Amino acid sequence: MNKEIIKKTAEFAQQTLQGEGSGHDWWHVLRVWNNAKMIGSHEQCDLFVVELAALLHDIADQKFHDGDDSVGPRKAQEWLESQEVDEERIYHICDIVENLSYSKSVGGTKVQTIEAQIVQDADRLDAMGAIGIARTFAYSGHKNRTMHDPNIKPQDFTSTEQYRNADSTAINHFYEKLLLLKDLMNTKTAKKIAADRHEYMQQYLEQFYAEWNGEQ
């Protein structure tokens, strides 16, 4: 029964996110789902909630919901009601979908339950390492932003709005988010993986600057 709901939810997410170009495509969701299952297998948790929240965490189409955070949780709720998931779990999953994002945490929001922490770690791991780097440049291109400009310095954001509205370069995004993620992981499993991905990103930046300066 639960397996069937997860399978149908995966199909629903895949169909809904087809062609999404801002870094929240189905492949991102699939990776987050896999990360979440892996982290969840090391924790005492409700894996059903973890898997459904991972699958639904980016369900709102970014093109239509810029600035409106209520669309994702509402879509998730409608879907879970149609699958007759119990009310308590629907509430929990929608709460995770609503509060998961990095931009929310810049505003000070912290997730509380172990299930939320697992999905948040799973999502954040996908913003690190080789894939995190690729997503950053893809997102920058999508927004018509420049790759690097040594005259534009990285910023220290203190609110969700500031972070979301900033017009930063791809390289600055490393300092404004990617390199901060290692210390923000909730679970031991994710902390270990994050440490490796962090090191890889630092090496990448070293190589990038060496090439930029014609040194290598």
**At closest approach, how far in Å is the CB of 24 from Ni ion?**
6
Instruction: Report, in Å, the least distance between residue 86 CB and ligand ADP.
Output: 27
Report the nearest approach of Ni ion to the CB of residue 86 (Å): 25
Q: Is 121 in the site for Ni ion (CB under 5 A)?
A: no
Contact status: 123 vs Ni ion (CB under 5 A):
yes
Query: If contact means CB under 5 to 8 A according to the sort of partner, which of Ni ion, ligand ADP, none does residue 106 touch?
Result: none
Q: Work out how close the CB of 63 gets to ligand ADP at its nearest, in angstroms, rounded to a whole number.
A: 12
Closest to ligand ADP by CB, 130 vs 195, is 130
From the list 13, 51, 58, 136, which residue makes contact with Ni ion (rule: CB under 5 A)? 58
Tell me which of Ni ion, ligand ADP, none is bound by residue 101, counting a contact when its beta carbon lies within the kind-specific cut-off of 5 to 8 angstroms: ligand ADP
Kindly write down the DSSP assignment for every residue of the chain, as one continuous string: -HHHHHHHHHHHHHHHTTT--SS-SHHHHHHHHHHHHHHHTTSSS-HHHHHHHHHHTT-S-TTT-TT-TTHHHHHHHHHHHHTT--HHHHHHHHHHHHH-SHHHHHTT----SHHHHHHHHHHHHTTSHHHHHHHHHHHHHHTT--S--TTSPP----SHHHHHH----HHHHHHHTGGGGGGG--SHHHHHHHHHHHHHHHHHHHHHHHHHTT--
Rounded least distance, CB 177 to ligand ADP, Å: 5
Distance CA(99)–CA(184), nearest Å, equals 15
Tokens of 178: 């990617």
Give the residues lining the site for ligand ADP (CB under 6 A): 23, 101-103, 127, 132, 135-136, 139-140, 168, 170, 173, 177
Q: Which does residue 173 bind out of Ni ion, ligand ADP, none, counting CB within 5 to 8 angstroms by kind? A: ligand ADP
Nearer to Ni ion, 109 or 203 (CB): 109
Binding stretches for Ni ion (CB under 5 A): 58, 123
